[in-house]
């Protein structure tokens, strides 16, 4: 596993009465090598807090976090991590080239011979070659997001952690960002990214971690999540030569319906699970948890 999070807890303190506010409660999940894992949750569910704990930006209250088999606090492991924060703010008075050089030197050392080539390659990949010598203060939000992902990729990280990389981008920007993420995956990076844009998650990920109220509600393949939440079954059977389609709401009802049809000697031709969208599955999970 590239990333393993076990029983992660994080409490904040109320600023006035110093009362404990638990934000993450026994969060556990793992991210397999070379996978693209979407980290889903509503606003305030604990996505960014989890990511910040993984990266050591916030100190965990308890729990165990391992990156590439080492404790996450081990500085040597950070050579292999690329990170793009949500709503990135960068140094306004650096040019795109200086900015990438700064991050490259921080991760690779000052004498990396390939750094200049890598900078040019990444600027090309994110479509910012024309802005190489422009200061970041003149960049639009989309351009900042693109230079942000370039800084995350400058040292060829093994684990790429992206916090809402697609939010606030126009459709073209989102497509371009998705292409960059796919490219990183093709290069062998493991990608863990949070998003509330479910269409994009659906498009990019095979695995999901779903968090709500600071607790992990699901961890595993996307298809399993969707089928688990997909409660509608369609039952196809013949009655006096006519094909009849009946919708059944739950697995229990489906079983009893099949039993009843068998007793009536009806010929059941097939049962189909109606595939709901990721968005519907996510809403269904939220509804279930609220009940």
By CB under 8 A, name the binding residues for other proteins: 52, 55-59, 75-76, 78-79, 81, 83-85, 87-94, 98, 102-103, 105-107, 109-110, 135, 148, 151-152
Q: How far is the CB of 111 from other proteins (least distance, A)?
A: 8
What size, in residues, is the chain? 291
Closest CB to other proteins among residues 15, 171: 15
User: Can you tell me which residue has the tokens 């200061």?
Assistant: 135
Q: How far is the CB of 114 from other proteins (least distance, A)?
A: 16
Closest CB to other proteins among residues 36, 81: 81
- Closest CA relative to residue 149, chosen from 138, 159, 160: 160
Contact 235, 269 (CB under 8 A): no
Q: How far is the CB of 221 from other proteins (least distance, A)?
A: 28
Closest CB to other proteins among residues 73, 289: 73
Pairing type for strands 207-212 and 36-40 reads parallel
Q: How far is the CB of 55 from other proteins (least distance, A)?
A: 5
Closest CB to other proteins among residues 102, 236: 102
User: Can you tell me which residue has the tokens 């807890």?
Assistant: 9
Q: How far is the CB of 73 from other proteins (least distance, A)?
A: 10
Helix/strand/coil for 161? strand
Closest CB to other proteins among residues 20, 87: 87
Closest CB to other proteins among residues 38, 82: 82
Q: How far is the CB of 250 from other proteins (least distance, A)?
A: 43
CA 9 vs. chain centroid, Å, equals 20
What values do phi and psi take at 236, rounded to 5?
-105, 120
Closest CB to other proteins among residues 109, 274: 109
Q: How far is the CB of 210 from other proteins (least distance, A)?
A: 24
SS3 of 80-134: the string is HEEEECCCCCCCCCCEHHHHHHHHHHHHHCCCCCCHHHHHHHHHHHCCCHHHCCC
Contact 9, 26 (CB under 8 A): yes
Q: How many Å apart are CA 66 and CA 243, to the nearest integer? A: 55
Q: What is the dihedral of CA 194, 195, 201, 204, to 10 degrees?
A: -50
């Amino acid at each position: 596993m590239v990333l393993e999070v076990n029983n992660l807890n994080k409490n904040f303190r109320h600023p006035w009465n110093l009362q404990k506010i638990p934000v993450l409660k026994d969060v556990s999940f793992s991210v397999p090598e070379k996978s693209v894992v979407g980290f889903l949750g509503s606003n305030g569910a604990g996505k960014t807090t989890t990511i910040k704990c993984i990266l050591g930006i916030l100190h965990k209250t308890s729990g165990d976090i391992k990156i590439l088999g080492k404790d996450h606090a081990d500085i040597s492991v950070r050579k292999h991590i690329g990170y793009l924060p949500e709503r990135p703010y960068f140094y306004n008075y650096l040019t795109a080239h200086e900015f990438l050089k700064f991050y490259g030197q921080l991760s690779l050392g000052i004498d990396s011979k390939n750094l200049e080539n890598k900078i040019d390659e990444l600027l090309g990949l994110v479509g910012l070659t024309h802005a190489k010598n422009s200061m970041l203060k003149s960049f639009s939000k989309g351009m900042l997001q693109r230079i942000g992902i370039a800084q995350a990729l400058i040292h060829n990280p093994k684990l790429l952690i992206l916090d809402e990389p697609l939010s606030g981008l126009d459709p073209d920007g989102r497509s371009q960002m998705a292409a960059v993420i796919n490219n990183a995956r093709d290069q062998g990076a493991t990608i863990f990214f949070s998003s509330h844009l479910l269409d994009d998650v659906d498009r990019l990920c095979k695995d999901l971690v779903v968090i709500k109220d600071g607790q992990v509600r699901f961890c595993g393949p996307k298809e399993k999540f969707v089928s688990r939440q997909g409660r509608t079954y369609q039952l196809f059977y013949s009655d006096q030569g006519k094909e009849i389609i009946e919708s059944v709401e739950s697995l229990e009802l489906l079983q009893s319906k099949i039993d009843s049809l068998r007793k009536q000697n009806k010929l059941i031709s097939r049962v189909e699970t109606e595939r709901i969208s990721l968005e519907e599955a996510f809403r269904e999970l939220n509804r279930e948890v609220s009940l």
